[in-house]
Amino acid sequence: MKSKTPEQSKTVLTDMVLPGETNALNNLFGGELLARMDRAASIAAGRHSRCITVTASVNHVAFTKVVPLGSVVTVEAKVSRAFRTSMEVCIDVWIEDRKSGDKTKVNEAIYTFVAVDKNGKPTAVPEITPETPIEKERFKAALRRKQLSLLLAGKIKPNDATELKALFD
Ligand SMILES: CC(C)(COP(=O)(O)OP(=O)(O)OC[C@H]1O[C@@H](n2cnc3c(N)ncnc32)[C@H](O)[C@@H]1OP(=O)(O)O)[C@@H](O)C(=O)NCCC(=O)NCCS
Instruction: Tell me the C-alpha distance between 9 and 44, whole Å.
Output: 5
What is the atom index within ligand 1 of the atom nearest the CA of 121? 3
Which numbered atom of ligand 1 lies nearest the CA of 153?
Answer: 23
Please report whether residue 72 resides in a domain.
yes
Report if residue 33 sits inside a domain: yes
CATH assignment at residue 42? 3.10.129.10
Pocket of ligand 1 (CB under 6 A): 54-57, 83-86, 112, 114, 116, 120, 122, 146, 149-150, 153, 155
Distance 123 CA to ligand 1 centre (A): 11
For the CA of 84, the nearest atom of ligand 1? 34
**Which pLDDT does position 84 carry in this prediction?**
98
Q: Which residues contact 99 (CB under 8 A, 6 or more apart)?
A: none
Stretch (H or E) spanning 13: strand 11-16
Is residue 149 in some structural domain?
no
Query: What number of other Cβ atoms are within 10 A of residue 26's Cβ?
Result: 12
Task: Give per-residue pLDDT as tens, 45-97.
Answer: 999 999 999 999 999 998 889 999 999 999 999 999 999 999 999 999 999 98
Burial of 161 (0-12, 13-18, 19+ CB in 10 A): middle
Q: Answer yes or no: is 77 within a domain.
A: yes
Maximum distance among all Cα pairs of the chain, rounded to whole angstroms: 54
* Residue span of the structural domain in which 36 resides: 6-129
Mean pLDDT of 1-20: 97
Domains contained in the chain, number: 1
Helix (H, G, I), strand (E, B) or coil at 131: coil
Give the global pTM.
Answer: 0.96
pLDDT of residue 32: 97
pLDDT at 165 over 90: no
Nearest CA residue ID for atom 1, ligand 1: 56
- Domain contains 60: yes
Cα distance between residue 157 and residue 152, in whole Å? 10
Res 149 pLDDT > 90: yes
Three-state DSSP at 41 gives helix
54-58's contacts with Cβ under 8 Å and 24+ in sequence apart are 54/113, 54/114, 54/116, 54/120, 55/111, 55/112, 55/113, 56/86, 56/112, 56/113, 56/114, 57/111, 57/112, 57/149, 57/153, 58/34, 58/109, 58/110, 58/111, 58/112
More reliable by pLDDT, 168 or 148: 148
For residue 64, the model assigns a pLDDT of: 87
Atom number, ligand 1, closest to the C-alpha of residue 56: 1
Query: How many whole angstroms separate alpha carbon 7 and alpha carbon 80?
Result: 9
Pick from 49, 114, 156 the residue to mutate for probing ligand 1's pocket: most ligand atoms within 8 Å of its CB: 114
Between the CA of 65 and the centroid of ligand 1 the distance, in Å, is 31
The number of residues in the chain equals: 169
Supply the pLDDT for residue 98.
Answer: 84
User: Does residue 69 lie in a domain region?
Assistant: yes
Is residue 155 one of the residues assigned to a domain? no
Closest ligand 1 atom to the C-alpha of 59? 24
Q: How far apart are CA 46 and CA 41, in angstroms?
A: 8
Q: For 100-131, how does the pLDDT look when each residue is reduced to its tens digit (9 = 90+)?
A: 999 999 999 999 999 999 999 999 999 999 99
Q: Do the domain assignments include residue 10?
A: yes
Ligand 1 centroid–CA 19 distance in Å is 35
